[in-house]
Structure 1
Amino acid sequence: MEMIAMEAHKRHKAAVMVTHDQRVLDLADAVYRMEDGRLVRQ
């Protein structure tokens, strides 16, 4: 996961990661949660 984040930053691209693992949230620039069928930014 860390390699994906590093490559995305290096290439100025976006990477979308979907996970239930709270430990990887520190790698993200933005975190969204699904609440009542809608995406909500944390």
Structure 2
Amino acid sequence: MLLTGTDLFLLTTDRIGLSFIGIDRSRRRFTIEKEGGRTVTTQTCI
């Protein structure tokens, strides 16, 4: 699955330790996955 820069936003932080997968909100899908010691947040605009 390929996403362009306007469709994809990556945020890394060491403060949040959430692990939510597939949160749909207002036609937007948020995917927060734990990778090592950081949290990667992916926002896909549908």
Taking structure 1 as the reference length, the TM-score comes to 0.31
Larger Rg belongs to = 1
Structure with more strand by fraction: 2
